[in-house]
Amino acid sequence: MNGKSLLHMYHEQKLADEFARDRNPEVPAIFVAVALFVVVFVVGAALDTAWVYLQQWYHVATS
- Mean pLDDT per block of 10 residues along the chain (63 residues) reads 76 82 73 95 96 93 87
pLDDT computed for residue 54 by the predictor: 94
- The contacts of residue 12 (CB under 8 Å, 6+ apart) are 4
Structural domains counted in the chain: 1
Reported pTM:
0.51
* C-alpha to C-alpha distance for 18 and 25, rounded to whole angstroms: 13
Q: Domain range holding 40?
A: 6-62
Is 50 contained in some domain?
yes
Is 52 contained in some domain?
yes
* C-alpha to C-alpha distance for 43 and 7, rounded to whole angstroms: 56
Is 51 contained in some domain?
yes
